[in-house]
Structure 1
Amino acid sequence: MRLLLNLLWLVLAGFWMFLGYLLAGVLWCITIIGIPFGIASFRIGVFALWPFGRTVVDKPGAGVGSAIGNVLWFIFSGIWLAIGHAFTGALLCLTIIGIPLGLANFKLIPVSLFPLGKDIVRTGDVNAAFGART
């Protein structure tokens, strides 16, 4: 089921959102100070390209630097990427088959707003860490 959802996602929303993250990452990487933001953009962009079967968790040890970086990210990139997720999510929710994909788009909004201090892991790894069966 994950493969089918990921393929639908790739065609209907994932590729376009990936291009948005790619553009943001390239713009951030123009300056030396922006390189960590560009890397975060590329990381979240790959997650936005193929999201089913993976999840976002808080990174242990992320501190004040991540919080300050998230404020800069929010101002320059996060709000625009979140608007993209909200817009494509609303469009996908117009059809019955697109509702799960639209909801997935809405779940990506928090990480698009504040990506620093987050890790992307396989869903099975999170379940194993908390003792749930996969």
Structure 2
Amino acid sequence: MKTLLNIIWVVLSGFWLFLGYMLAAAIMCIFIVTIPWGIAAARIGVYALWPFGKEVVEKPTAGVGSTIGNVVWVLLAGWWIALEHIVSGVLLCVTIIGIPFGWANFKMVPVALLPLGKQIVDSSERMPRG
């Protein structure tokens, strides 16, 4: 089922979201100082291409550097990538079939805004809380 959802996702919005993230990654990697943000953009871009069966979780070793890095990310690229997710989500929610995919877009907005200090794991590998 995850594979089918991912294939539909790639056709409807995943490919375009992936291109947006890769554009941000390429721009960030032009300047040496912003390479960490470029790597984060590429990592999240691959997740945005094939998201079903994966989860974003807080990285336990993330510290104040991630917070500062996220502020810089929001100013440089995070706001327009989050806007891309919102627009795509709204357009997908116009049809009944697209609602689950629109919802998946809305769930990606926080990671599009604040990607540092997070990691992507397979849903089956995630440890239960408690």
With normalisation by structure 2, the TM-score equals 0.97
Alpha-carbon RMSD? 0.8
**1:121 aligns to 2:108 (yes or no):** no
Task: Give matches, 1:103-122, under 5 Å.
Answer: 103-122=103-122
* 2: CA distance, partners of 1:89 / 1:2: 19
**1:30 aligns to 2:30 (yes or no):** yes
**1:42 aligns to 2:42 (yes or no):** yes
- Give every structure 1 segment of 4 or more consecutive aligned residues whose post-TM-superposition deviation is greater than 3 Å: none
Task: Give matches, 1:5-84, under 5 Å.
Answer: 5-84=5-84
Q: How many aligned residue pairs are there?
A: 129
1:89 is displaced (CA, Å) by 0.3
1:130 is displaced (CA, Å) by 1.5
Q: Percent identity?
A: 59
* 1: CA distance, partners of 2:109 / 2:74: 11
Give the gaps of 5 or more residues in structure 2. none
1:61 is displaced (CA, Å) by 1.1
With normalisation by structure 1, the TM-score equals 0.95
Partner residue in 1 for 2:128: 130
* 2: CA distance, partners of 1:19 / 1:81: 10
Give the gaps of 5 or more residues in structure 1. none
SS at match of 1:74: helix
